[in-house]
Structure 1
Amino acid sequence: MKRSLLALTAVLSLTSCASLENARADMDRGPFADALDTLDAAGFAGDFAIMLPGEVDQVVFGHAGGDIDSRAIEGWPWASVTKQVIAVLVMQNVEEGRLALDSDVGAIMPRLAGRGLTVEDLLRHRSDLPNPDDTSPDTAGVPSFYTTEAEPLAFCTGTAVERPSDQAWSYNNCDYIVLGAVLEMVSGASLDLQIAQSVGLASGWINTRLLDADDLREFAGATPQTAKRIAGYGASAGLVGPLDDMIAFDGALLRGELLSDASLAILWEGDPAQGFMALGQWVFEAPLAGCDTPVRVVERRGAIGDYQVRNLILPDRGIAIALATRQSEWEFGEIWRGSGPSHDVLSAVACG
């Protein structure tokens, strides 16, 4: 897929009024500028990319704030947006007959035999796996699993813990670490290769991959310690890449280049009993300011340390927005409640 950055691409510093005004003078008024205004007013410092309706082969990429140590090619940790990619790989394997959502994980992975876990249980965080977040903190206060665990799969397939009851769920990165291993077992290919061939090529990715602990690639705020920690998340949150790759992934989903319509409908079926959790993301209808009726929203959040990421898709309008920041305390708000910067940005782009 051929992609290009629109002429209204801008690198902006909110600490420089002159730079901000000059950049805005160079771009036409429209959804991109409206989104920039909204983020500016909310004090956002980070990067964002937007896919506009009717222009699915193009994205716009902008920067807000003073932290300009990332570029479009180098990118950001995707954090738990990684789970969206893993969920797509699972559904591709379902389409190809290697898996089913009700497949017994223990039949694929003997260490989990007899536990009664299905693939869908892992996708929806309904497992009895140990939780990495419960491991003792290291000297930096990070759960030690992510920085010192030499055998992550052995940990994740260890002694069962109490399983969520009925339709309840309990967020657990081991669910997706195990799913990554399941994908390797049923396909015979490494997870890196599957991501590259089955998602990256079809999406037209530039430079997104799972991070290794000793990886020297550049990304926003990259340090050896940060890279090691992100790598420790593996299949649950270990992807690093530019935001325009994230938008390209969204576009490939919308165009049916990654999944059939039937599989995409399953992927994006939000369960009201689980807070509208779908498979690897949340899907719900929300009131957007300026739109006459509620709009269907696909939302995937991610957070590791200081990093926060959002991947937002409006499937019925052909719009996608990706945002990333190192403001760990910045409040994105709750779209479903009709308030906060995420809601306001979607409203500006979709309904302005």
Structure 2
Amino acid sequence: MAASKKKAASPSTEPAWAAALPYLQPWLAHQLRTTEQPGVSVAVAHRGRVLLSFAQGQGGDGARLTPRHRFRVASHSKTFTAVAVLKLREQGRLKLDDAVGAYVPGLPADVAAATLAQLLSHTAGLVRDGYDAGQWSDRRPFLDEAALRDDLARGAVLPANTRFKYSNHGYGLLGLVVEAVTGEPYTAWVQREVVQAAGLKDTVPDAPQLADSTPFAQGHSAKWPLGRRVGIPGRNPTNVLAAATGFISTAADLARFFASLDPDAADSVLTPASRRELVRRQWRDPYGSVERWYGLGTLSGGTPGGGAAWDHFGHTGGFQGTLTRTVCVPAQGLSLSILTNAADGMAGVWVDGALQLLRTAAEHGAPSAAAAGWGGRWWSLWGASDLLPLGRRVFVANPGLTNPLLDAPQIEPAAAVDGSTRHGRFVQAGGFASFGEAARLEHDARGRAQALWLGGTRLQTEAQAAKELARRYGGG
């Protein structure tokens, strides 16, 4: 990554938000179990250094999913394409206000007049996926150049620069621009000048570049309407739409790559000025319950409760059978990627939940000596509760929620241990919860946690709870 080099910061203690990293695995394991998702792959990095990388569930080939499994990461491709265009601009080979028709002849006048910046920001007013989008349901192959031109021959759908309007076809055009400027196939130039230059070893621009022996996360349908999931091979080429949706990668590679696009990153394939342009919020999504903005090949937003310190940029991806999302939080030096291999995968909301966990850890820090002794997953008739110690508090998390800390009660533990029992008191809880009441964690003679009392409610280990439920209500 030679375009920008700063002296690397000397190694230091891990950021405060890293205190929540160990909880990501048990939380997501419970999420997989309760939602019946096939698999998830996760990576978290601090200033480009991967602190955590793990995978859970199945890869779809009968094998356990691993962090080395590659996923179709779909529209993450747009960020790679935007980086390619900005790199060509740095080399003086094009300008963002150039009309696409200067590089791709034979387009209708209103399409030809669209600027590269408009294509990058999805404001050229072009059709999203054409007039037969069957490629997204495996009813037809992904478009070649002739099919793309046939769709665009009908002209733009909206006047340019009137609103944000997503277009995979627009990014297909950008791939043709890269080919026209470089004289090489898009996939070859981007693989060398962006992917390899960024030091990514597990990323390719499209399926034909992936070796048959490479571990690959097969996609899956949603459970319904069949009542069961079916495997989706997902190795099909995306042809001229590789620039929009072709990329295949791992969570760790994506976490590193998006970290390198932080304008303050030490190393990147782009200059700081280009990175600032890449991630700058340009167009707001005009219709949606979540506040989102688009820059040049990047989505941006914020973390509720976090303020500007938790604003982030990144991208999402949806391919047949996979849903994926990566974010970079520049002020925290944090990048996070979650990849799922189902059409109803929950990568989007799991990223939001993970950000809330990490934000809370950043606020409270590593557990105190008194809090560190509290932990584990505890069960009752009502389901599971997790004890998550952060700072001087113990949070009672709900692993069944996509934000496990939503309205989570907080216990302040006593410093002393009474024999084999730890004591505490609820110091934060909603009005319908046990605010002000006692909590205690009981251990047996060998020091193994055996029961948790939250107010007047006794929670047990999973085995104990299952045995009681079977005895009381049958079914066991």
- Check whether TM > 0.5: yes
- Give the partner amino acid of 1:57: R
Could you say which residue in structure 2 is the equivalent of 1:277? Answer: 294
Provide the C-alpha distance between the structure 2 equivalents of 1:90 and 1:292, rounded to a whole number of angstroms: 31
Q: Give the Å deviation of 1:144.
A: 2.9
Equivalence for 1:89: 84
Amino acid at match of 1:348: L
Identify the structure with the greater strand proportion.
2
Q: 1:132 to 1:143 in 2, by over 3 A?
A: farther
What do the CA deviations read for 1:272-326 (whole angstroms, capped 9, x no partner)?
54441111121233324xx576511113110012200101111121111111112
Show the 5 A alignment for 1:181-330.
181-212=176-207, 217=212, 218=214, 219-221=216-218, 226-228=234-236, 230=238, 233-254=241-262, 255=265, 256-271=267-282, 273-274=284-285, 275-288=292-305, 291=306, 294-330=309-345
Deviation at 1:242? 2.2
Match of 2:422 in 1: none
Q: Judging changes above 3 Å, is the alpha-carbon distance between structure 1 residues 166 and 239 closer, same or farther for their aligned structure 2 residues?
A: closer
Structure 1 residue 32 displacement after superposition: 2.6
- Cα deviation for residue 327 of structure 1 reads 2.7
Q: Which amino acid aligns with 1:251?
A: A
The CA distance in 2 between the partners of 1:224 and 1:239, in whole Å, is: 17
User: What is the TM-score with the length of structure 2 in the denominator?
Assistant: 0.59
Any idea what SS the aligned residue of 1:301 has? strand
Deviation of 1:85 (Å): 0.6
Structure-2 separation of matches of 1:128 and 1:111: 18
Aligned to 1:60: 52
Aligned-partner Cα distance in 1 for 2:92–2:144: 33
Of the three residues 145, 149, 157, the one matched with 1:154 is 149
1:120 and 2:109 are equivalent in the alignment: no
Is 2:57–2:65's contact at 8 Å kept on the other side of the alignment? no
Whether contact under 8 Å (2:75, 2:318) holds in the other structure is yes
CA distance in structure 1 between the partners assigned to 2:330 and 2:106 by the alignment: 39
Hey, what's the Cα distance between the residues in 2 that align with 1:41 and 1:224? 24
Higher helix share: 1
Shift of 1:124: 1.7
- Distance between the aligned counterparts of 2:161 and 2:185, measured in 1? 34
Question: Considering only aligned residues, what root-mean-square deviation do their CA atoms show, in Å?
Answer: 3.0
Whole-angstrom distance in 2 between the partners of 1:296 and 1:325: 23
Contact 1:32 1:60 in 2 (8 A): yes
> What is the aligned partner in structure 2 of residue 344 from structure 1?
353
Residue number among 24, 39, 43 corresponding to 1:49 in the alignment: 43
- What is the one-letter code of the residue matched to 1:220? A
Q: What is the rounded CA distance, in whole Å, between the counterparts of 2:162 and 2:206 in structure 1?
A: 33
Distance 1:214 1:52 in 2: 29
User: What amino acid is aligned across from residue 353 of structure 2 in structure 1?
Assistant: D
Does the CA-based 8 Å contact 1:309-1:324 persist in structure 2?
Answer: yes
| Normalised TM-score (structure 1) | 0.78
Give the C-alpha shift of residue 34 in structure 1: 2.6
**CA positional deviation for 1:63:** 1.2
Alignment partner, residue 33 of structure 1: 22
Q: Does the 8 Å contact 1:130/1:159 carry over to 2?
A: no
Counterpart AA for 2:132: T
CA distance in 1, matches of 2:204, 2:308: 38
Give 2:242's aligned amino acid: G
2 CA distance for matches of 1:38 and 1:117? 46
SS at match of 2:260: helix
**Does the aligned pair in 2 maintain the 1:105–1:113 contact within 8 Å?**
no
Distance 1:323 1:110, change over 3 A: same
CA 1:317–1:230 in structure 2 vs 1: closer, same or farther (change >3 Å)?
Answer: same
Percent identity for Structure 1 against Structure 2 = 20
Question: What is the letter of the counterpart of residue 310 of structure 1?
Answer: R
Q: Show the counterpart of 2:165.
A: 170
Tell me if the contact between 1:135 and 1:145 (Cα under 8 Å) persists in the aligned partners.
no
For the residues of structure 2 that align with 1:251 and 1:214, how far apart are their CA atoms? Answer: 24
Distance 1:293 1:269 in 2: 14
Q: CA deviation at 1:216?
A: 5.2
Residue of structure 2 equivalent to 1:137: 134
**CA 1:164–1:35 in structure 2 vs 1: closer, same or farther (change >3 Å)?**
farther
Question: Aligned in 2, Cα 1:114/1:231: closer, same or farther, shift over 3 Å?
Answer: closer
Residue number in structure 2 paired with 1:18: none
Deviations 1:171-198 (A, max 9, x none): 2211111101101111223322322222
Worse-matched range after superposition: 74-83 or 225-234? 225-234
**Cα deviation, residue 251, structure 1:** 2.9
- SS across alignment from 1:62: strand
What corresponds to 1:75 in structure 2?
Answer: 70
Distance in 2 (CA, whole Å) between partners of 1:246 and 1:230 is 20
Deviation at 1:166, TM superposition (A): 4.6
Deviations 1:37-75 (A, max 9, x none): 44234336311111025xx33342101234455443341
CA distance in 2, matches of 1:293, 1:117: 33
Q: Deviations over 1:85-134 (max 9, x none)?
A: 10111111122211222111111111236322100111122235444353
Would you say the 8 A contact 2:323–2:346 is kept in 1?
Answer: no
CA distance in 1, matches of 2:180, 2:123: 21
Q: Is the 8 A contact 2:207 2:237 kept in 1?
A: no
